[in-house]
Amino acid sequence: MKQLITLTFFLLTFTAFAQKPCEYSANVSDSIGTYKVTNEYMISEKNFGGTSNYVFFSLAQTDGLPTLNLQLIQKSKDFVKANCFDKNSKVFLQLQNGKIVTLIHIDQENCGTLIRDKEYNNRVTTGIFMFMKDNFEELKKSPVTIMRIKYLTDIEDYIVRSELTSEMNKKVYHPDTYFMENIRCVE
């Protein structure tokens, strides 16, 4: 009887701490190379005065090189300011352990695409950021507390929360542990 109880406890503990499988929106391998990218994950959501801003992450691996895909979506009835990425753009992630991880933008300028509908002006801006060798491992060890994005002409800071319930889709996200849970998917 003791063995049965011990075995049951072990199995319940094991399944509770097991990592969830990686989910990819694309996973292609052909004669040209390999490419896989994780599903988009909401990192930040700001809604104030008729303006909404969303930040999404996805991790990609292209022929063994891991990168961070960052997508900004801005929605407003008023004019939507363009935040451009260029070769000097960076993402700084301050970790809970005090260390700062820097990601460098690829050399490709992007000011986003303005999409207008009957009610809103929408701007979608994407950027691809590369990890540096020396701090890639740090992202596995500690949650992110603050994110700073350096654009071509502006800098914006985001508090990275441990739990975010989206007003847009009502899903619950855990942005602070995003890298801890997902970076293994592109190693």
Q: How many domains does the chain have?
A: 1
Q: Which residues in the chain come in under a pLDDT of 50?
A: 4-17
Its pTM stands at: 0.85
Task: Judge whether 121 lies within some domain.
Answer: yes
Residue indicated by tokens 């959501």: 45
Q: Please name which of 52, 169, 71 lies closest in space to residue 121, comparing C-alpha atoms.
A: 52
pLDDT in tens, 128-152: 999 987 778 899 999 999 999 999 9
Task: Judge whether 13 lies within some domain.
Answer: no
Task: Judge whether 98 lies within some domain.
Answer: yes
DSSP labels, 38-61: EPPEEEEEEEETTEEEEEEEEEEE
Q: What are phi and psi of 186, to 5 degrees?
A: -125, 15
Task: Judge whether 159 lies within some domain.
Answer: yes
Task: Judge whether 9 lies within some domain.
Answer: no
Task: Judge whether 17 lies within some domain.
Answer: no
Task: Judge whether 86 lies within some domain.
Answer: yes
Q: What is the pLDDT of residue 50?
A: 87
Task: Judge whether 16 lies within some domain.
Answer: no
- Which domain does 139 fall in, by range? 40-186
Q: Give the whole-angstrom CA distance, residue 178 versus residue 144.
A: 8
Q: What is the pLDDT of residue 87?
A: 93
